[in-house]
Each structure stands twice: as C-alpha cells, then as structure tokens.
Amino acid sequence: MKDLFGTALLDYQNNNYTEDIITSTSISEEDTLPIPYLFRSFDAMPFIEQEALSLVKGAILDVGAGAGNHSLYLQNNGFTVKAIDSSKGAIRVCELRGVNHFAHIALLEETETFDTILLLMNGTGIFQTFQNIPKYLKHLKSLLNPGGQILIDSSDITYMFEDEDGGFWQDLHQGYHGEVDYFLSYKDEEEVPMKWLYLDFSSLHIAAASAGLYCEMVHEGEHFDYLARLWG
Ligand SMILES: C[S@@+](CC[C@H](N)C(=O)[O-])C[C@H]1O[C@@H](n2cnc3c(N)ncnc32)[C@H](O)[C@@H]1O
C-alpha cells in the first residue's frame, strides 16, 4: 500500500492542494473524490453522519477516521474520542488538526474498549469482503463496553444491478454483489487495488444476529444509503 490517500490528505493539510483523488470500481466508471470533502465541517456532512454524531455517548472510537472530521466535531463538543486509521498520512493529519487521541493502527489491532464505535462514509467498506464480516463484527463486539453501541453506515447498491425491466442480475460465481474492487489514483500514481464492501441492511442484520449483536436501522437515506446501530 502506497498510502496515496494519506498523501493527498497531507498535501491538503499542508496547503499543497492542486488536484483531487480519482477513484473507480469494478462496477463503476472513473469519478473524482474532492479532497475538500474529506475535510468537511458538520454542516457539510450528509444527514446520516450528522445523525450518527447526535447519537454518540461515552468514550468514542472513530474507526477509519480519515482527516478526523467526526473526531474533531465530537472532541469540540466535549467527548473523549480516539481516532484510528490504517493510513499513516491520515493519522498525521488528525494529529496536525488537533485530535487529542489517535493511533496509526488497523481496526483489528485495536484492543481498548468504548461506549460508541463510529464507522462512517461507508463504514462497512473497512470489512473489505462479505466473508470478513463475522471476523470484524466479532472484533467490534469485543471492543464494546457494557451498554455500548456501534454506529455504521453503508449503501445497498442492488440498484446498480437492475436491468431496465426492474429485474436483478448477478453473477453468482462473483460472490456478494456489494463486494467491489476499488481503484484509486492521485497525481498520476496508482494505488494498489483494494476490496471495498457495500452491504445492504438486511445482510448486515443477519450477520449481526450471528455475531450476537442486535441491529436496527436508524435512518434510511434518499439514495439507498442507511445508518445502522448495533449493540450487544
Ligand atoms: C472512505 S474513508 C473515510 C474517512 C472518514 N471516516 C470520513 O468520513 O471522512 C475510509 C478510511 O478508512 C481507513 N481504513 C481502511 N481500512 C481500515 C482498517 N482496516 N482499519 C482502520 N482504518 C481503515 C482508510 O485509510 C480511510 O481513511
């Protein structure tokens, strides 16, 4: 992993913003990911994220914190938050922006426990594959204090597989349809391709039950996106 995502965040933080990140997936064309969006204020956040921030309690873990937008907002509102990210550049940006508690670790390396765990901006992406879900949910559950909760967002991308008649096509040999290959480039350099998981609510609900977690839909967005709350 070259950490081009972290490099882009650091460039922006250090006033060296000249171009945006280019992304594409195995099921979608090239798209631009504007770096200023990765430094969004509360007002610029989608409603689902604002809703998640309104539901937090106690000690918080912000998983895949990126540039630390959610951590900073909560910290400024009196919460104790730990930001973690597998991107070294992202965690350096969190530090430079004033996040008090941070660690450059992947989710599966975290061992402390929390009252609220946040995974936002397609939080299920971090699970990477459908097969990985039980492992990640089991680990997330182990990081919850009694009475703790997980707030996670994702999108049901089934609509991308619908034909004109409203039918649904899927290559069963390709596995779960929300598991996509994710390509990212920045300043003409290409990142090592990654797996990224979009998970429909029903599948999350079933996987949560298998992991011994309750799961409820908190909010359904306008474009197949949703916020879910899981607890033990
Ligand atoms: C789509 S970005 C979202 C960033 C931030 N939450 C936001 O909303 O702006 C996903 C983030 O998750 C991080 N990430 C991916 N896999 C991870 C893992 N296994 N553990 C921790 N962070 C991870 C990436 O480096 C990236 O910063």
Burial 113-133 (b: 16+ CB within 10 A, else e): ebbbbbbbbbbbbbbbebebb
Is 226:201 a contact under the CB 8 Å cutoff?
yes
Residue 14, both tokens: 């250090």
- What atom in ligand 1 is closest to the CA of residue 126? 16
* Strand duo 101-103 + 179-186: pairing: unpaired
pLDDT band at 128 (very low <50, low <70, confident <90, very high): very high
Tell me the mean pLDDT in the region 92-111.
Answer: 98
- Token digits of residue 23: 């992304």
Extract the runs of DSSP E, i.e. beta strands, from the chain.
Answer: 21-25, 28-33, 60-63, 81-84, 101-103, 114-119, 144-155, 179-186, 189-190, 194-197, 214-220, 225-231
CB of 126 sitting under 6 A from ligand 1: yes
User: 188: number of CA atoms within 13 Å, CB side?
Assistant: 1
124 lines ligand 1 (CB under 6 A): no
Distance CA 146, CA 53 (A): 20
Q: Which atom of ligand 1 is nearest to the CA of 9?
A: 27
Q: What is the pLDDT of residue 159?
A: 85
Q: Please state the rounded mean pLDDT for residues 220-224.
A: 93
pLDDT (tens digit, 9 = 90+) per residue, 61-75? 999 999 999 999 999
Per-residue confidence (pLDDT) for residue 161, from 0 to 100: 83
Q: Which phi and psi (to 5°) does residue 126 adopt?
A: -65, -25
For ligand 1, say whether the CB of 86 is within 6 Å of any of its atoms.
Answer: yes
d(CA 52, CA 120): 8
Has residue 107 got a pLDDT over 90?
Answer: yes
> What does the mean pLDDT of the chain come to?
96
> Contacts by 78-83 with C-beta closer than 8 Å and gap 24+?
82/112, 82/114
**pLDDT tens, 34-89?**
999 999 999 999 999 999 999 999 999 999 999 999 999 999 999 999 999 999 99
- The arithmetic mean of pLDDT across residues 174-180, rounded, is 90
User: Which atom of ligand 1 approaches the CA of 109 most closely?
Assistant: 20
- Residue whose CA lies nearest to ligand 1 atom number 2: 66
pTM over 0.95: yes
Report the nearest-CA residue for atom 10 of ligand 1: 64
CA pair distance 152, 204, nearest whole angstrom: 10
Tokens representing 169? Answer: 């096509």
Residue that the structure tokens 């598991």 belong to = 179
Is ligand 1 within 6 A of the CB of residue 45? no
The residues facing 103 across adjacent strands are 84
